[in-house]
Amino acid sequence: MEVDQPDVDHAEQLETVDVQPELEEDLIKLAEKVKEKGNTAFRSKRFTDAIESYSRAIVLNPAEPTYLTNRAAAYMALKKFKLALSDCQQAANLQSESPSAKTLIRLARCQLSTGSTTPALSTLRAVLDLEPNNTAALQLQKKVLELEAHLRNFQGAKSRQDWAMARLALDKCVQAIEAEGGDIPIQWKLGRIELELARKNWDAAGVAASEALRLEPTSPDVLALRGLVLFLTAKTAQALQHVQSALRLDPGHEVAQRLRKRIKDVERLKEEGNVAFKAGRLQEATERYSEALDRIGEEDKEGNGGQIRAILLSNRATTLVKLEQYEEALQDTEESLRLYPASFKALRTRARINLHLEKYDTAIADFKSAIEQAEFEGNDADVKALRSELKKAELALKRSKSKDYYKILGVSKEATEVEIKKAYRRESLKHHPDKGGEEEKFKLVVEAHSVLSDPHRRQRYDMGDDEDVMDSMGGMNGMHGMDLNDIFAQFGGGGFAFRSGGGGFSSNYSGGYGQYGF
């Protein structure tokens, strides 16, 4: 940076002068001497010392613009462009009746370095009015116009919600300022946070928000936006603290006011849903979770509701599973995982749904993923419980490749002894050969009943010990070698001529069903 250069010999003499302002009568003359000391320090790259001298000169003679422009040059050398900008603006005001191209160019450079393109172009037009061929002004104007184009691209992409293009344009803007060694405007930093939110880059949004708050700790805008980041990442208590801090600084801050109410509403509805769920009031829980989801919203610019929405969707899905509304629960779980792929609870819920839908391979994969995530996010009890559920899913897969006795009888795996007995009677009637049923299906019904009606054998079957169970049953496909004539006799007296080789049944059945309650 150029500064008004003093007479070198005079400057060297001043190095030995002990300035005592209280004894000087001519403050203007004294201010010049102090300025010369500043120039000497500047040339020696002792910019902090130079600033101190120029500041004393300004106090002695505040009407002299040169002191301000020189101090601005020292600030610029230290990359303190906001302070330099203030000095240049004051100097330009003092020179308003006789503008200085040198002052205005320095002002425009500060405006560019702080991202103020419109004022910079206005300042440069004033320079070019004075000196149309000023090379420095023309070069600076080109840089400002390029930056302004990047800013237009950023705003346009943002309005179209083209977040990838908006980020690219903002990167170009930042690079232009960094090339000047300038200060990135706080609004651009806020824009970066907003882009990361829209792109669902939660960690990046959090880092950017923390950095912005470090630079501007008393900015209500920054506090409110960081509060939004915390809210969308399900850190509601911290979010509320930041919003309240913003409102202490600016009680009328509308964004902070709306966000505070939103956070409180979501927390209240979520808690009401949790209480209803624990009390078994499942429909009420579903309604509360749905209301909370409505308050969260799913705007693109907020990453479709973020992790807080993912959690509420997972909660509602768990409730819908309890209500046996599996398809709706699966939709909620899929959306939850799109928002928060690392949620072991959502993975667990989807695994349970897929297990119920008999998509065993998918369920097993989800349980394994849930275990991996729970090892980072959950506790030992969560991991242990998931491993137990994984084992059950693997057993279900194994069973699906052989005989599913529950499915044969048409009962759930939680069926009681009474329900199994009723199902056995129903299916026996349906598949009885004398009633047009198939022999093989009838045999399977009897086999299923023989296992599931015995608590010990049922337990072994549930544990996946299919081969052992079969071995313990002996021949006749697990019916302890019982002859089918004996089985049919149980349904009202014999009469069947069963040929164990599979030859069929005779037609002289004369028994009845009524005496056995069928």
The predicted-structure confidence for 446-456, as pLDDT tens digits, reads as follows 988 999 999 99
Asked whether residue 481 carries a pLDDT value surpassing 50, the answer given is no
Phi/psi at 238 (nearest 5 deg)?
Answer: -65, -35
Q: What is the pLDDT of residue 387?
A: 94
| Rounded CA separation 517/509 (Å) | 18
pLDDT confidence bin for 239, thresholds 50/70/90: very high
Q: What is the pLDDT of residue 42?
A: 96
| Rounded CA separation 275/277 (Å) | 5
Q: Yes or no: say if 307 and 197 are a contact pair by the CB < 8 Å rule.
A: no
What is the three-class DSSP state of 499?
A: strand
Q: What is the pLDDT of residue 378?
A: 78
Mean predicted confidence (pLDDT) in 384-404: 88
Most distant CA pair in the chain, distance: 140
Least confident of 73-87, 420-434, 483-497: 483-497
Q: Yes or no: say if 54 and 36 are a contact pair by the CB < 8 Å rule.
A: no
Q: What is the mean pLDDT of the chain?
A: 86
Mean predicted confidence (pLDDT) in 64-92: 96
Distance (Å) of CA 110 to CA 89, 118, 145, 464: 10, 12, 15, 76
Please list, in sequence order, all residues whose beta carbon lies within 8 angstroms of the beta carbon of residue 222, skipping any fewer than 6 positions away.
186, 189, 190, 209, 212, 213, 216
Q: Which residue has the higher pLDDT, 471 or 360?
A: 360
Q: What is the pLDDT of residue 467?
A: 42
| Rounded CA separation 463/478 (Å) | 17
Q: Yes or no: say if 336 and 353 are a contact pair by the CB < 8 Å rule.
A: no
Neighbours of 61 (CB within 10 A): 17
Q: What is the pLDDT of residue 395?
A: 87
Q: What is the pLDDT of residue 149?
A: 97
Q: Which residue has the higher pLDDT, 472 or 430?
A: 430
pLDDT above 90 as % of the chain: 71
Asked whether residue 274 carries a pLDDT value surpassing 80, the answer given is yes
- Can you read off the two tokens belonging to residue 339? 């928002």
- Can you read off the two tokens belonging to residue 105? 């160019």
b/e per residue, 191-210, with b = 16+ CB within 10 A?
Answer: bbbbbbbbbbbbeebbebbe
Q: Could you write out the DSSP letters of every residue in 269-319?
A: HHHHHHHHHHTT-HHHHHHHHHHHHHHH---GGGGGGHHHHHHHHHHHHHH
Note the pLDDT tens digit of each residue in 284-307.
999 999 999 999 999 999 999 999
Least confident of 168-177, 229-238, 327-336, 409-418: 409-418
Burial status of residue 286 (CB atoms within 10 A of its CB: 0-12, 13-18, 19 or more): buried
Tell me how far apart the terminal alpha carbons of the chain are, to the nearest angstrom.
104
What is the three-class DSSP state of 10?
A: helix
| Rounded CA separation 4/425 (Å) | 108
Q: Quick one: three-class SS letters along 218-240?
A: CCHHHHHHHHHHHHHCCCHHHHH
Asked whether residue 372 carries a pLDDT value surpassing 70, the answer given is yes
Note the pLDDT tens digit of each residue in 196-214.
999 999 999 999 999 999 9
The single residue listed with the structure tokens 């164990």 is 500
Burial status of residue 348 (CB atoms within 10 A of its CB: 0-12, 13-18, 19 or more): buried
Please list, in sequence order, all residues whose beta carbon lies within 8 angstroms of the beta carbon of residue 330, skipping any fewer than 6 positions away.
317, 350, 353, 354, 357
| Rounded CA separation 384/365 (Å) | 17
Mean predicted confidence (pLDDT) in 507-515: 35
Q: What is the pLDDT of residue 466?
A: 55
pLDDT confidence bin for 29, thresholds 50/70/90: confident
Q: What is the pLDDT of residue 496?
A: 39
Q: What is the pLDDT of residue 515?
A: 30
Q: What residue ranges define each of the domains in the chain, with the CATH number in brackets? A: 22-153 (1.25.40.10), 186-341 (1.25.40.10), 402-464 (1.10.287.110)
Burial status of residue 430 (CB atoms within 10 A of its CB: 0-12, 13-18, 19 or more): middle
Q: What is the pLDDT of residue 498?
A: 38
pLDDT confidence bin for 25, thresholds 50/70/90: low
Q: What is the pLDDT of residue 24?
A: 47
pLDDT confidence bin for 513, thresholds 50/70/90: very low
What is the three-class DSSP state of 504?
A: strand
Note the pLDDT tens digit of each residue in 362-371.
999 999 999 9
Which is nearest to 355 in space by CA: 387, 395, 316? 395
Distance (Å) of CA 171 to CA 119, 147, 327: 22, 11, 43
Q: What is the pLDDT of residue 434?
A: 76
Q: What is the pLDDT of residue 469?
A: 43
Asked whether residue 499 carries a pLDDT value surpassing 50, the answer given is no
Please list, in sequence order, all residues whose beta carbon lies within 8 angstroms of the beta carbon of residue 68, skipping any fewer than 6 positions away.
54, 58, 87, 88, 90, 91, 94
Using the 8-state DSSP alphabet, how is residue 435 labeled? G
Asked whether residue 495 carries a pLDDT value surpassing 70, the answer given is no
pLDDT confidence bin for 143, thresholds 50/70/90: very high
Q: What is the pLDDT of residue 129?
A: 95
Q: Yes or no: say if 105 and 83 are a contact pair by the CB < 8 Å rule.
A: no
The single residue listed with the structure tokens 């996010």 is 377
